Amino acid sequence: MSVFENLADRMNHIFSKLRNKGKLTELEIKQAMREIRVALLEADVNYAVVKDFVAAVSEKALGEDILKSLTPAQQIVKIVNDELVALMGSTHRKLAVSDRPPTVYMMCGLQGAGKTTMCGKLALYLKKQGKKPLLVACDVYRPAAIQQLQIVGKKVGVEVYEAGQGDPVKIAAAGIAHALKNGFDPVIIDTAGRLHIDEKLMKELIDVKREVKPAEILLVVDSMTGQDAVTVADTFNKTLDVTGVIMTKLDGDTRGGAALSIRAVTGKPIKFSGTGEKPEDLEPFHPERMASRILGMGDVLTLIEKAEQAFSKEQAEKLQKKLRENTFTLEDYLEQLDSVKKMGGLGSMMQLVPGLAGKMGKQEIDEEKIMRSKVIIQSMTPKERRNPDIIKGSRRKRIAQGSGTSIQEVNQLLKQFEMTRAMMSRMQKGGMKGLRGMKGMPPGGFPF
Amino acid sequence: MGFFGKMLEGIRKTKDNLSKKLYYAFSARALDDEFYDSLEEALLAGDVGVAASTEIVDDLRNRVYERRIKKPDDAKELLKEILVESVEYEVEPYSYPLVVLLSGVNGVGKTTAIGKLARLFTEQGKSVVVAAADTFRAAASEQLEVWGKRAGVRVVRHNEGADPAAVVFDAISSAKAKGTDVILVDTAGRLHNKKNLMEELKKICRVVERELPEADFRKFLVLDATTGQNGVQQAEVFSEAIDLDGIILTKLDGTAKGGVVMAISVELELPVLYVGVGEKIDDLIPFDAHDFVDALV
Ligand SMILES: Nc1nc2c(ncn2[C@@H]2O[C@H](COP(=O)(O)OP(=O)(O)OP(=O)(O)O)[C@@H](O)[C@H]2O)c(=O)[nH]1
Ligand SMILES: [Mg+2]
């Protein structure tokens, strides 16, 4: 892995020496393009797609205004981001519905992509919209695949039609007949995972398609897929003319460049993403979020949404005022820690923070640390909390003893508090949006 | 059909594969910058990753220079040499009793590999018991039981939601009582960035170490050959958590060639032990660095 975790960091590094010059040469832009190439390749965007993409961005970046711009790094990152979003399709696309019920959704993909789990998620999603979905078990090959679908169906309260390990085409047809007779609509068909080069099994999908005339054929793709994603997606698409793509396992730390490759090669929209193992872990796909993720810039928009949910408006206003007047204290910090917990814990949040996305796992971040921080602050006197500057040697010792921690830990907390205060004041300059221009985290990790 | 034959078959079916690109690279007439660029591109297309590709190409450049090589064909032999060097390891032979634990992210082929390993060991005359320590995913134990039947080995299982460490404990007790040679542990798929799930995995390992300290305990990461650069993170984080002994590379019967193991090898000393080349019980083959590289180049 590179020293620079995200594209913005790379760009800033290249351009940092040039800040004062204020103007870029073509050579410097070329160097920037090389960094963009590396960032995209490290995110698993297909090398051929990268080539085209970098060529397109270069052309834009070599335009007059960038060369003269005072903030070329940000300008270029913005161009890259905008181009990525444009490439991935700018709006979320809804699922198609047939004129004549039942609407049929057919899932397909490689082995282990996450089709069966996704079937359950989709069923729950549709059920929540007031529909009465039916799941049909057409994976007759993998051991216990039918049982798996049955368990998944039971969990989300959706009926599963199965007919043992027979002919998938006949089972699919019987499933539709069952739906018609019993008023189920839509019908979701789970199929066995297969290799795109397995001609016999690909033909089986064509037959199922012909039989059930699906409103959507959804290709399920593991977001950790590498360069081969284009071959796989292209073959499935050419064979079946898929209508949409679902990316799974996006709760991992993969950059997910496969999404971009697939979109570029098939032109088909990505409709949903799977973000966890629970049935409700399904999200409509957001191209702009995926773009910043691929660039390693974290999912800033999701973070902002989560933050907005966790902080009440008054809380946020109060905080801003404190930062403006420079009266942010350890008491406020304590409140912040509680908010962080509310935001779904650090684990899920860190993923979304620029500069930290992709670093997860290497960095020891845990909930326990928040708890310890809280205990330390709670062991301080109100005066100390309001005025941290007075916490010197003997006070530190007392606090450490009182909280059952060490002096080092107390020191660390105080340092982190200072960093947080600095970061917060940076953030509030541009409101929550100020986060966007943020250049990673303070040295030494996230300040909690 | 052997491993090599199956790989070749896969390659023939692919239009846009690494070996073809390398073929073009090596059909260049001169060993110039363009040659090295196309070589780098070919490696990138095979998921080798930016850092490892650069390293490999630089290494090749140096050796070509040192040995005054002029012909692309000779450079090709050199490249193979470099690639083989980076994935070839001496592996300590197993001793018994043996515990083999498979870990990895979701859907990579752990359970299938357990079934295949059970077959490999029984073929060598070893007695085998399997611990169904994936108590999380729906129907995981049922899936494993099918494999147990196919391989003719016993499967120790609990109900869905049970403590996986307790399943392993029971499997070990059963193995001790019966003098079983090999205990295979199937674990639930988990993403390496989920801290609590990684802790659970550590706990399973602690149970093995505590209950069977005399056993040869091997911990493998199962890695899907289609995985991109995230495979490096997977290897790093799983290694950190449970000190991996090696990798099982699955789904090599597809069109992806698993080049990410090259990237992993640059950072961690982690040998590939077996490769999965299909969905049938015999489709697991001991890794051979030369075959692997031959299929790549
Ligand atoms: N083509 C091919 N498919 C494979 C190979 N190994 C496993 N599979 C398939 O990949 C899919 C997932 O395999 P599993 O063994 O269930 O994977 P897992 O890692 O146990 O999955 P979870 O327990 O759900 O995380 C199944 O459909 C397997 O048949 C292989 O070498 N080649
Ligand atoms: Mg499994």
Residue A59 is predicted with a pLDDT of 84
Asked if the A303-435 domain carries CATH number 3.40.1410.10, the reply is no
Q: Which residues contact B281 (CB under 8 A, 6 or more apart)?
A: B115, B116, B119, B147, B150, B151
> Where exactly does CATH 3.40.50.300 map onto chain A?
104-297
Pocket residue to mutate for ligand 1, from A111, A141, A222, A224, most atoms within 8 A of Cβ: A111
φ/ψ (deg, to 5) at B219: -115, 115
Torsion of CA A137, A139, A143, A147, to 10 degrees: -10
Residue A377 and residue A385: Cα distance in Å, rounded?
A: 7
Query: Which tens digit of pLDDT belongs to each residue from A50-104?
Result: 999 999 888 887 775 666 665 667 777 778 888 888 888 866 678 999 999 999 9
- CATH code of the domain made up of A104-297: 3.40.50.300
Number of the ligand closest to the Cα of B113? 1
Instruction: Please say if the pLDDT value at position B246 is more than 80.
Output: yes
Residue A262 and residue A270: Cα distance in Å, rounded?
A: 9
Q: Closest ligand 1 atom, CA of B186?
A: 20
> Where exactly does CATH 1.10.260.30 map onto chain A?
303-435
- What's the CA-to-centroid distance between A268 and ligand 1, angstroms? 26
- What's the CA-to-centroid distance between B146 and ligand 2, angstroms? 12
Specify the fold of A5-87.
Four Helix Bundle (Hemerythrin (Met), subunit A) (1.20.120)
**Residue in the structure block whose two tokens are 């015999």:** B282
The shortest C-alpha distance from B268 to chain A (Å) reads: 12
> Where exactly does CATH 1.20.120.140 map onto chain A?
5-87
Task: Name the pTM for this structure.
Answer: 0.79
Q: Which residues contact B94 (CB under 8 A, 6 or more apart)?
A: B216, B218
Instruction: Tell me which range, A270-284, A357-371, A400-414, is most confidently predicted by mean pLDDT.
Output: A270-284
- Given a contact cutoff of 8 angstroms between Cβ atoms, the answer to whether A35 and A69 are in contact is no
Taking residues B121-131, what's their average pLDDT?
98
Pocket residue to mutate for ligand 1, from B103, B111, B186, B187, most atoms within 8 A of Cβ: B111
Q: Which residues contact A313 (CB under 8 A, 6 or more apart)?
A: none
Residue A438 is predicted with a pLDDT of 38
Mean residue pLDDT of chain A comes to: 82
Query: Which tens digit of pLDDT belongs to each residue from A207-258?
Result: 999 999 999 999 999 999 999 999 999 999 999 999 999 999 999 999 999 9
B 245-264 near A (Cβ less than 8 A): 251, 253-256, 259-260
